[in-house]
Amino acid sequence: MKYSFLAAFFLCPALLSAAEPSRVVSLAPSVTELMFAIGEGSHLVGDTRYCDYPEAALALPKVGGIQDVDIEKVVRLKPDLVVASRTGNSRETVERLSGLGIRTLVLSEYRVADIASNILILGNVMGRDTRVLADAWTARIAKLPKPVLRRRTMAVISIAPIYSASTDTFLGDALELAGFSNCVTTRTAYPMIPIEELARLSPEILLVSDALRKEEQALRDVLKQAGISPAIRWVDADRLSRPAPRMMDLVEKLAAENAR
């Protein structure tokens, strides 16, 4: 399979010819997981407070969150490469780092297949051959079973108010691959869903982050107001939201259930 490298680079086209980095700062949990997945976690010298997998990531110095990166902390870590997420980190953060002369790589994460490209890109930058790992990822996508019936589904990433993910997102793509029909088709990537819109969409299934379990009653109250009673499936929050290798475990599990 061919992969696109150019889509991943933002502001720093010279990265491919630069020296292999030895001090890397990750600005997103998905980036941190990818670095460890390709065997380069030992080169991480900092990450975000949300980077909690694998366990070794917890011990790294923290540089803030995804949207509130502490630039001064990043600079103090003296990285020779910062890796960011195009869908998670802000353009302003990347531009500030680049303006300070810090090499910055931004990975695109719009489709599940982008993970294979990112595995190759990170491997190339770090001087590691990751083609076998990338091909294995692509093979897992190709082997996903076909659903018996594509049921109308909505991913719930926030409650009171309800926020969901449209078809034009990484999460939306994951839902389609798992055999669901995402009923949220707005041009807005992560729209708020008012009660009247929830009633109109009338999803048969809600895939809800298990991080929201404490708000289950609030969710059921909203569903009652909307006059609908979809099945609620609680799914692992990290695997649902992070464009990293572990998410395929969730996609395969859901796809297998939908193929029965």
DSSP summary character for residue 113: T
Q: Which pLDDT score, from 0 to 100, does residue 139 have?
A: 96
- Pick the closest to residue 144 from 231, 53, 247 (CA basis): 247
User: Taking all residues of the chain, what is their mean pLDDT, rounded to a whole number?
Assistant: 91
Domain boundary residue, one of 98, 122, 141: 141
Mean pLDDT of 193-208: 96
- Amino acid occupying residue 186: T
Q: Are residues 122 and 182 in the same domain?
A: no
Residue 5: pLDDT above 80?
no
Residue 17's Cβ-count burial label (10 Å; 0-12, 13-18, 19+) is: exposed
pTM assigned to the model:
0.89
Q: Are residues 250 and 187 in the same domain?
A: yes
Q: DSSP H helical segments within the chain, as ranges?
A: 29-37, 55-58, 71-76, 91-99, 114-126, 131-142, 170-177, 195-201, 216-226, 237-241, 247-258
Name the more confident of 107 and 14. Answer: 107
The domain containing residue 161 runs over which residues?
A: 152-258
- Domain count within the chain: 2
